[in-house]
Structure formats: structure tokens, C-alpha cells
Amino acid sequence: MEDRVRVVIAEDSVLLREGLTRLLTDRGHDVVAGVGDGEALIKTIGQLADESALPDVVVADVRMPPTHTDEGVRAAVRLRKEHPGIGVLVLSQYVEERYATELLAGSSRGVGYLLKDRVAEVREFVDAVVRVARGGTALDPEVVAQLLGRSRKQDVLARLTPREREVLGLMAEGRTNSAIARQLVVSDGAVEKHVSNIFLKLGLSPSDGDHRRVLAVLTYLNS
């Protein structure tokens, strides 16, 4: 199948790990490995690299053994540096701004940060996994709200109107222009105009390609 992806899951809760595996395999995806801590994740990816069998995406919990603090996100950041072709989707119980910022501060390709509650929305979760595996982005609305709320004090986003910030937040969730139009109950043309204005005000030229949608959300992280 065209959207079939290879996944490695890093989650110390066996029950949740098996649940995620079932969700993905039932929808035709391949879960090639499941591990319970950050060290095992790094080791597993290294072994798969040696076999020329890297996954398309890693789904990892932020907090894993032994300290249950930031092992998962540290492993994710390391993987993004060592294997930039792998998408990384991080799951967290709560919005942890520091971890979200650390994960998103690098390359704009293939990255996601979702709250674990989002897993219950099966279709959206699986779509997010596939999107990140294909080099896209998937940010939880709560994460977007907190990051954008903090960034409103920064000059780079002060140029945007309230409606443009609203559109920007929906873009960060990975929504298409048509999906944004449905959410805001406006025309596709109106959304396209807002998106063009956002790119213009943030200084993102057409040469930045499709990643302008991601860069528009992440610009303030690097400012």
C-alpha cells in the first residue's frame, strides 16, 4: 500500500506499546521493533542501520527509564542528528514546552509532538504517524497553543493579525488549507490569502518550497 510505513515504537508501558503496535499493524503498517527505554532505542536503530533497514518513523515517549525524565526526547533529538531521514513523533502526557522546543529547534522535516490523549483519536494518530514518516509535521493543538502564546511577545510574530495567528496554529497541526477553511468556516481562497500573508510577513520566500508551512511555525523558535 502506498502509505505503508515502517515504525519503531519506544514506550516503557508494555500495555501502551502493544496497543500502539496493534493500532498501526491493523491499518497495514509495519512495526519493526518495540523497546522500553532510550538506550534500547538508540541501540535498535543502530542495528537496523547496519542492516540497511532503518524505519520511516520512530514513535517515542518523552519520559522513559531509568529516571523517567527526558530519556525519550534526548534519544529522539540524537536520532534526528544521526539519522535525519527518520521521522520522529514524540508522545507526552502533558505539554512540556522545553522538550517540544528542543525537539523542534533543528530540522523542520519529519517531526511531531502529540499528547498521549491524542492516541485515542485513532485515525488522527495514524495519519500523524504517516505524515511524520513522509517528512511532514504533526503538532498537538495544545503544544501549538502554548508555543504560539509564548511567542506573541516576539517581534517576528507581532506582524501577524489574530486571524493569521489562528491560521498559523492550524497549519502547525498539519492541516491542509482545505481543512483550515472547514475549521474556520471560510473559503479556501481566504485561507490561501492568509497563508500567503503569513509567508510574506515572516520573510519566507517561494524558494523555501513546501517547508514554508513548517518554517512559518518554527521561525520564532530560532529567533
Please indicate, yes or no, if residue 155 is contained in any of the structural domains. Answer: no
CATH code of the domain containing 72:
3.40.50.2300
Same domain, 195 and 87: no
Domain count, the chain: 2
The β-bridge relationship of strands 57-61 and 87-92 is parallel
Domain end point (choices 149, 173, 208): 149
Residue 171 burial (10 A CB sphere; 0-12, 13-18, 19+): buried
In a domain, 215, yes or no: yes
Give the domain extent around 55: 6-149
Spatial contact of 87 and 133, defined as CB atoms under 8 Å apart: yes
Asked, for residue 1, whether it belongs to a domain, the answer is no
Are the CB atoms for 16 and 9 separated by under 8 Å?
A: no
Instruction: Taking residues 26-38, report their average pLDDT.
Output: 94
pTM above 0.75, yes or no: no
Task: Assess contact for 63 and 94: CB atoms under 8 A.
Answer: no
Task: Please check whether residues 28 and 138 belong to one and the same domain.
Answer: yes
Give pLDDT tens digits for 84-138.
889 999 998 877 766 677 777 666 678 888 888 878 888 889 999 999 999 888 8
Of 169 and 223, more confident: 169
Segment 153-211, tens digit of pLDDT = 455 677 888 899 888 888 877 788 998 999 999 999 999 999 999 888 887 767 545 56
